[in-house]
């Protein structure tokens, strides 16, 4: 039971101590806030408002300046004399209430005081910002007065000194300067009356006017000189040039150059109207475009002059070449007649000749068209130049086609000559082979070689007969000559091989006869070899002879073969 009482007492003591500790912490926080609010109050009082107000005393205290100065001065006096006392009193009572533990009342009073201080801070900041803006307006007005006064004077001086350069815009520019001067006077008057804000607005308008006048003074003389003088002179030159060139025989109407000149004049007049209205939006770009178009007109005239010189120079050459092609074509007709009578003309050659005739007809028509155009003087020289260039291309095309045609026709004669030369050579060679075989020591000419010779003779005779049939079919003749040439090559090789074999067999057997008496077997073998040789079996005779010599003299057969090869080579060289 006693322990329970002690527990209650301890609990009460703990609660009391906790309450005291909490109270101390709350009071500490409130005192800290009171100190913070007092520091914020001191910060408000230390603002530079009095110093800024002191600056205003150097300006005329009239109008807006006086009204703003009095309002700001009154607001600051109220802040210092009234609101500061209210804050001090509120903070003092808050400390007294804290000593009496009136925490809720202290909290409410401090919140109200903090709100008041925030309002005063906002008021001071707004006041300083407004003063700064007002000061800037004053400074800006001073700059505008100094700068624009000098610039307006210079504008008027330039306008008077260069009045002709401004052309019809002189009075408009002068009125712009006068309006700017009036706005400057208005700005100065408002400033002297203390109406700084209105004077600042007037100053901004004045600056815009001065900027506009600066741009006008900078560009108008150039624009007037270009549009009213330079471009006009160029268009007059184009008109005069157009008239002179027409009198000199130039056909310019189809080109529509005069219409373009008049359109350019209308555009120039429109630009002049825009200058008189001070309408310069995209003006320089439009002016440059017109200048570029006028340059193109000059280029068109130069093109016609160059084209005339080109036509006079080149057309004479074209006519001479056309005359030459006419003579060439006449010779080609005669040549074609001879070709048709001598050769079977293939489709390609005939087609090339027809193309030449068509190209020649086109060329003649072009030349005639150019001559008529020059006489009529109704077509511009630039168009005639194109026709002359086309005629030159046609002449070049005709020349190239003529060269190909001559090459193809010459190939027919070349093929004929080559085949005829080969034919004569083959006839001589065939006779030579026949004599060679007749003079040779071979007892019998092989039947197949005789057959090949007769076949070759028929081929040569058949080829020779083709040249007795006009017109010649050169395609067939060339093909037949290739067959004869192949047969002749094979026959030539066979004759050489046969002569080599017969000569070798003959010398081989003669050399082997020295061993005939050695024994009866050798005698019989050599007798058989001789019989084979006499009956045209030269290969068998060689085999028997080499076998016999192999028994007595192994190197003899090789030496005999080498001697035969060398002898035949020397004979071949002598025949050549």
pLDDT at 527: 83
Range in 128-142, 389-403, 554-568 the model is least confident about: 128-142
21 pLDDT higher than 70: no
Q: Give me the residues paired with residue 183 across strands.
A: none
Range in 1-5, 436-440, 549-553 the model is least confident about: 1-5
- How many Cβ atoms from other residues are within 10 Å of residue 194's Cβ? 19
Q: Which two tokens stand for residue 93?
A: 């009572």
Q: Which two tokens stand for residue 419?
A: 């085949």
Q: What are the φ/ψ torsions at residue 343 (nearest 5 degrees)?
A: -130, 150
153 pLDDT higher than 60: no
Identify which of 21-30, 39-48, 197-206, 350-359 has the greatest average pLDDT. Answer: 350-359
- Mean pLDDT over residues 495-524, rounded? 79
398: Cβ–Cβ under 8 A, 6 or more apart, which residues?
325, 356, 359, 360, 363
Computed on alpha carbons and rounded to an integer, the radius of gyration of the chain in Å comes to: 64
Does 345 or 522 have the greater pLDDT score? 522
3-state secondary structure of 343: strand
Query: Do the Cβ atoms of 90 and 112 come closer than 8 Å?
Result: yes
Q: Which two tokens stand for residue 421?
A: 């030369």
436 pLDDT higher than 50: yes
Query: Do the Cβ atoms of 278 and 297 come closer than 8 Å?
Result: no
Q: What is the dihedral of CA 116, 118, 124, 130, to 10 degrees?
A: -120
Query: Do the Cβ atoms of 380 and 254 come closer than 8 Å?
Result: yes
Query: Do the Cβ atoms of 420 and 483 come closer than 8 Å?
Result: no
335: Cβ–Cβ under 8 A, 6 or more apart, which residues?
409
352 pLDDT higher than 50: yes
- Mean pLDDT over residues 349-355, rounded? 74
Residue 380 CA to residue 30 CA, distance in Å, equals 106
3-state secondary structure of 472: strand
Residue 501 CA to residue 532 CA, distance in Å, equals 13
Does 485 or 10 have the greater pLDDT score? 485
Residue 531 CA to residue 457 CA, distance in Å, equals 31
pLDDT at 319: 82
pTM over 0.85: no
Q: Where residue 1 falls among pLDDT bands split at 50, 70, 90?
A: very low
For the chain, domain boundaries: 2-148, 303-418, 440-575
pLDDT at 225: 80
Average model confidence (pLDDT) across the chain: 73
pLDDT at 393: 87
Question: By C-alpha distance, which of 7, 89, 99 is closest to 41?
Answer: 89
Q: Where residue 306 falls among pLDDT bands split at 50, 70, 90?
A: confident
Instruction: Let me know the angle formed at the C-alpha of 206 by 203 and 208, rounded to the nearest 5 degrees.
Output: 115
Query: Do the Cβ atoms of 148 and 186 come closer than 8 Å?
Result: no
Residue 444 CA to residue 284 CA, distance in Å, equals 113
pLDDT at 61: 56
Q: Which two tokens stand for residue 475?
A: 């395609």
The tens digit of pLDDT for each residue in 67-126 reads: 666 666 666 666 666 666 666 666 666 666 666 666 676 676 667 777 777 777 777 777
- Mean pLDDT over residues 329-350, rounded? 69
DSSP sequence for 186-232: HHHHHHHTT-HHHHHHHHHHHHHHHHHHHHHHHHHHHHHIIIIIIHH
Question: By C-alpha distance, which of 217, 206, 209, 204 is closest to 154?
Answer: 217
Question: By C-alpha distance, which of 492, 422, 435, 429 is closest to 464?
Answer: 422
Burial class (CB in 10 A: 0-12, 13-18, 19+), 158: middle
pLDDT at 429: 76
The tens digit of pLDDT for each residue in 52-84 reads: 666 666 665 566 566 666 666 666 666 666 666
pLDDT at 343: 61
426 pLDDT higher than 70: yes
Q: What are the φ/ψ torsions at residue 251 (nearest 5 degrees)?
A: -95, 95
pLDDT at 114: 72
Q: Which two tokens stand for residue 21?
A: 């500790």
Does 93 or 318 have the greater pLDDT score? 318
Identify which of 88-97, 132-141, 437-446, 509-518 has the greatest average pLDDT. Answer: 509-518
- How many Cβ atoms from other residues are within 10 Å of residue 294's Cβ? 22
CA 408: distance to chain centroid?
A: 44
Q: Give me the residues paired with residue 472 across strands.
A: 343
Q: Where residue 321 falls among pLDDT bands split at 50, 70, 90?
A: confident
pLDDT at 574: 62
The tens digit of pLDDT for each residue in 372-390 reads: 777 777 778 788 788 888 8
Residue 388 CA to residue 318 CA, distance in Å, equals 8
């Amino acid at each position: 039971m006693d322990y329970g009482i002690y527990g209650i007492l301890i609990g009460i003591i703990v609660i009391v101590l906790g309450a005291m500790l909490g109270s101390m912490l709350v009071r500490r926080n409130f005192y800290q806030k009171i100190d913070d609010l007092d520091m914020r109050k001191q910060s408000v009082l230390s603002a530079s408002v009095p110093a800024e107000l002191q600056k205003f005393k150097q300006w005329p205290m009239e109008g807006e300046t006086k009204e703003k100065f009095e309002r700001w001065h009154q607001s600051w006096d109220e802040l210092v004399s009234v609101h500061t006392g209210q804050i001090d009193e509120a903070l003092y009572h808050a400390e007294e209430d804290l000593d009496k533990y009136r925490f809720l009342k202290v909290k409410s009073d401090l919140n109200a005081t903090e709100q008041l201080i925030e309002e005063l801070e906002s008021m001071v900041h707004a006041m300083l910002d407004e003063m700064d803006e007002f000061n800037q307006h004053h400074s800006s007005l001073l700059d505008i007065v100094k700068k624009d006064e000098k610039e307006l004077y210079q504008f008027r001086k330039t306008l008077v000194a260069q009045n002709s350069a401004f052309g019809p815009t002189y009075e408009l520019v002068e009125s712009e300067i006068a309006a700017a001067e009036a706005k400057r006077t208005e700005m100065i008057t408002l400033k002297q009356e203390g109406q700084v804000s209105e004077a600042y607005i007037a100053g901004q308008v004045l600056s815009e006017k001065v900027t506009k006048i600066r741009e006008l003074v900078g560009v108008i003389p150039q624009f007037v000189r270009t549009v009213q003088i330079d471009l006009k002179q160029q268009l007059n030159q184009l008109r005069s040039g157009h008239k002179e060139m027409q009198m000199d025989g130039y056909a310019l109407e189809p080109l529509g150059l005069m219409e373009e000149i008049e359109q350019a004049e209308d555009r120039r007049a429109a630009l002049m109207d825009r200058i008189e209205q001070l309408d310069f939006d995209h003006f320089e770009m439009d002016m440059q475009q017109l200048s570029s178009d006028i340059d193109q007109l000059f280029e068109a005239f130069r093109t016609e002059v160059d084209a005339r010189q080109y036509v006079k120079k080149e057309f004479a050459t074209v006519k001479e070449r056309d005359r030459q092609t006419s003579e060439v074509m006449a010779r080609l007709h005669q040549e074609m007649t001879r070709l048709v009578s001598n050769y079977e003309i293939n489709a390609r050659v005939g087609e090339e000749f027809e193309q030449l005739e068509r190209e020649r007809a086109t060329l003649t028509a072009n030349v005639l068209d150019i001559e008529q155009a020059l006489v009529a003087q109704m077509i511009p020289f630039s168009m005639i130049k194109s026709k002359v260039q086309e005629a030159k291309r046609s002449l070049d095309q005709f020349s190239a086609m003529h060269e190909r045609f001559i090459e193809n026709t010459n190939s027919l004669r070349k093929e004929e000559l080559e085949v005829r030369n080969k034919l004569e050579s083959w006839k001589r060679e065939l006779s030579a082979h026949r004599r060679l075989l007749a003079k040779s020591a071979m007892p019998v000419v092989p039947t197949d070689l005789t057959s090949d010779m007769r076949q070759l003779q028929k081929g040569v005779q058949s080829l020779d007969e083709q040249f007795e049939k006009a017109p010649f079919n050169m395609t067939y003749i060339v093909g037949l000559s290739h067959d004869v040439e192949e047969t002749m090559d094979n026959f030539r090789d066979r004759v050489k091989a046969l002569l080599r074999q017969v000569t070798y067999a003959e010398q081989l057997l003669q050399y082997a006869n020295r061993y005939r008496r050695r024994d009866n077997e050798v005698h019989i073998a050599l007798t058989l070899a001789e019989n084979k040789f006499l009956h045209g079996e030269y290969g068998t005779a060689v085999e028997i002879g080499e076998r016999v010599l192999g028994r007595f003299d192994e190197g003899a057969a090789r030496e005999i073969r080498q001697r035969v090869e060398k002898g035949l080579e020397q004979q071949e060289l002598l025949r050549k």
